[in-house]
Amino acid sequence: MRIKRDSRYIGIAALFVVTSLCLNAFTGILVSKILHAGEGPAKTQIEVKNISAKQAKELIEEGNEVFILDVRTREEYNEFHMKGANLIPIQELEQNISKIPKDKKVIVHCAKGKRSATACEILKNKGLKELYNVEGGINQWKSEGYPVEKPE
Q: Point out the residues that are catalytic.
A: 110
Q: Strand, helix or coil at 132?
A: strand
Which of the 8 DSSP states describes residue 104?
Answer: S
User: Of 90, 141, 97, 89, which Cα lies nearest the Cα of 118?
Assistant: 90
67-92 CB burial, b ≥16 within 10 A, e <16: bbbbbbbeebbeeebbeebbbbbbee
